[in-house]
């Protein structure tokens, strides 16, 4: 009988140890534990070694690190009736562990769906040129709305970034023609400015030469000399009296 009593005590002690060990749960630093007692929410467990009574209590792990969700490409219509495809990436974290478990079944899916709807609505408020130029403004507006609406779910949306904006083929061709026309316009402007500057220099030179007849004749000789060298010929020109007078004055 004594041996039977010792054996029974050992058996009970063994199961007590097993129950205690199975009741101990480790909550990591980046996690929170949402605990239920007999199916009722009874609190949030912080990081560390925590006790969960088997059968009576259950718990769910909640990762509170920042997560990313892809917002798939959406067909959006701009305010000027241009249909474009837009996709984005969303960053969020769990701010209230209990709400994220009690209020919504699948956090990532719910956030993604709400972000898709919001993005289509916000894109529709802008014209195409604004959408292409103001990505950050549009992204910020979407983020504010999604963050506000998902706050009751215990979610904090930290950022939304628009990744790609795909234009219709016809719009791409039109923009390419516009860019080419703009390049041609700039080239013509630069050419016109060059011609204007050259004309101003020629006018300035003509004004100076007009004041000095000798300088005009020297320029004529230089031009004729260049022509003679190019044509491999000899050109005989009379010496203007103004040049002889100028040279005579120089000797004196």
What are the pLDDT digits (tens) for 103-136? 998 999 999 999 999 999 999 999 888 888 899 9
**pTM for the model:** 0.63
Half-sphere exposure at residue 79, Cβ-oriented, CA atoms within 13 angstroms = 9
3-state DSSP assignment of residue 54: coil
User: For residues 141 and 159, what is the distance between their CA atoms, to the nearest angstrom?
Assistant: 10
Q: What is the CA radius of gyration of the chain?
A: 43
* Cα–Cα nearest to 223, from 207, 211, 209: 209
The residues near 133 (Cβ < 8 Å, ≥ 6 apart) are none
**Which tokens in the block code for residue 211?**
């004041």
User: For residues 52 and 24, what is the distance between their CA atoms, to the nearest angstrom?
Assistant: 6
Mean pLDDT of 218-237: 56
Name the more confident of 198 and 77: 77
* Cα–Cα nearest to 111, from 158, 65, 166, 59: 158
Q: What is the pLDDT of residues 20-32, one digit of tens each?
A: 767 788 899 999 9
């Amino acid at each position: 009988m004594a041996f039977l009593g010792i054996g029974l005590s050992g058996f009970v002690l063994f199961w007590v140890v097993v129950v205690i060990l199975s009741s101990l749960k480790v909550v990591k630093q980046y996690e929170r534990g949402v605990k239920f007692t007999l199916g009722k929410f009874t609190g949030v467990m912080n990081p560390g070694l925590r006790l969960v009574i088997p059968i009576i209590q259950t718990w769910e792990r909640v990762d509170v690190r920042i997560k990313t969700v892809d917002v798939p490409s959406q067909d959006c219509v701009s305010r000027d009736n241009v249909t474009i495809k837009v996709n984005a990436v969303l960053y969020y974290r769990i701010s209230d562990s209990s709400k994220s478990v009690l209020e919504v079944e699948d956090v990532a899916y719910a956030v993604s769906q709400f972000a898709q709807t919001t993005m289509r609505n916000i894109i529709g408020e802008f014209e195409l040129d604004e959408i292409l130029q103001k990505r950050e403004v549009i992204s910020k507006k979407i983020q504010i709305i999604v963050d506000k609406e998902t706050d009751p779910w215990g979610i904090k949306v930290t950022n939304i970034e628009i990744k790609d904006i795909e234009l219709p083929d016809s719009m791409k061709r039109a923009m390419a023609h516009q860019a080419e026309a703009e390049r041609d316009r700039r080239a013509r402007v630069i050419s016109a400015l060059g011609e204007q500057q050259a004309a101003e220099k020629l006018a300035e030179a003509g004004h100076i030469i007009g004041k000095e007849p000798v300088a005009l004749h020297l320029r004529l000789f230089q031009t004729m000399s260049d022509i003679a060298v190019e044509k491999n010929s000899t050109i005989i020109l009379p010496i203007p009296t103004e040049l002889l007078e100028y040279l005579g004055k120089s000797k004196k």
